[in-house]
Amino acid sequence: MACKRGALIVLEGVDKAGKTTQSKKLLQALQQGGRAVEVLRFPDRTTTIGQLISAYLEKKSELEDHTVHLLFSANRWELVPLMKKKLEQGTTLIVDRYAFSGAAFTSAKPGFSLDWCKKTDEGLPKPDLVMFLQLSPAEAALRGQFGEERYETNVFQRAVQQKFEQLIKDPSVNWQVIDASKSVEDVHKDIKTHSINAINIAQNLPLGELWK
């Protein structure tokens, strides 16, 4: 019998919403349940393209805005063969940021339409579930100062939040909005429930293409 495919599960949200914390907890919970599962994060700073992005985010280099958008997108496309292989082998992938961050962050810059920003990611493996960790800027501020990286400012993060709110309205994507202001354990419970549901549904469905 052919092996059932893994699910593609994405966590999105503004800075400090808890994506990294929850990715790790979901990984552990699914592993404990005996499932094959791995975490990926974008940008993947380990590749050659990822190193260019990392230097830009750390303000060690300057890149033209369209150029860096294309690099973020290329950084996802270069991982697609590996992602497809793992999903086909039955491994569920938990992804910390994906094309939605790509579109939300670039379109928060002046002169970029959301449509243009989405184009470069059209056709990527479509997530079976995208959980948006919803947290107000005021609550995010209580979780500590912003770091030193590019984009880590209140003004920019608010603009990004508005772009995410537009993206969430797209019914072609299985969005679930998660109240990220709850305790780590309570947020985890919500995320785990949605994820197990998505894994059960995805195993009998072909992998889709995003925004196509």
Site for ligand FDM, rule CB under 6 A? 42-43, 57, 72, 97, 101-102, 105, 151
Q: Does residue 145 belong to the site contacting ligand ADP (CB under 6 A)?
A: no
Kindly state the smallest distance separating residue 102's Cβ from ligand FDM, in Å.
3
> Which residues in the 186-205 window bind ligand ADP by CB under 6 A?
187
Minimum Å distance from CB 164 to ligand FDM? Answer: 11
The stretches of the chain forming alpha helices (DSSP H) are 19-32, 48-57, 65-77, 80-88, 99-107, 114-119, 137-142, 154-168, 184-202
Nearer to ligand ADP, 12 or 120 (CB): 12
Number of residues that bind ligand ADP (CB under 6 A): 13
The one among 7, 9, 12, 15 contacting ligand ADP by CB under 6 A: 15
- CA distances from residue 122 to 62, 73, 175 in whole angstroms, order as listed: 26, 10, 17
Given 3, 80, 82, 184, the residue binding ligand ADP (CB under 6 A): 184
Check if the beta carbon of residue 94 is closer than 8 Å to that of residue 23.
yes
> Measuring CA to CA, which residue among 128, 134, 131, 105 is closest to residue 118?
105
Q: Which of 32, 46, 48, 183 binds ligand ADP (CB under 6 A)?
A: 183
Tokens of 36: 């094959």
| Interacting span for ligand ADP (CB under 6 A) from 18-26, 84-92, 100-108, 159-167 | 18-26
Residue 13, interface with ligand ADP (CB under 6 A)?
yes
Closest CA to 133 of 50, 10, 42: 10
Strand partners, 96: 11, 41
CA dihedral sign, ordered 97, 103, 107, 111: positive
Please give the structure tokens belonging to residue 142: 């209580």
Rounded to the nearest whole angstrom, what is the least distance from the CB of residue 23 to ligand ADP in the complex?
8
- Window 79 to 118, contacts with ligand ADP (CB under 6 A): none
Nearer to ligand ADP, 33 or 147 (CB): 147
Torsion of CA 147, 153, 159, 163, to 10 degrees: -10
Q: Which residues bind ligand ADP (CB under 6 A)?
A: 13, 15-21, 143-144, 183-184, 187
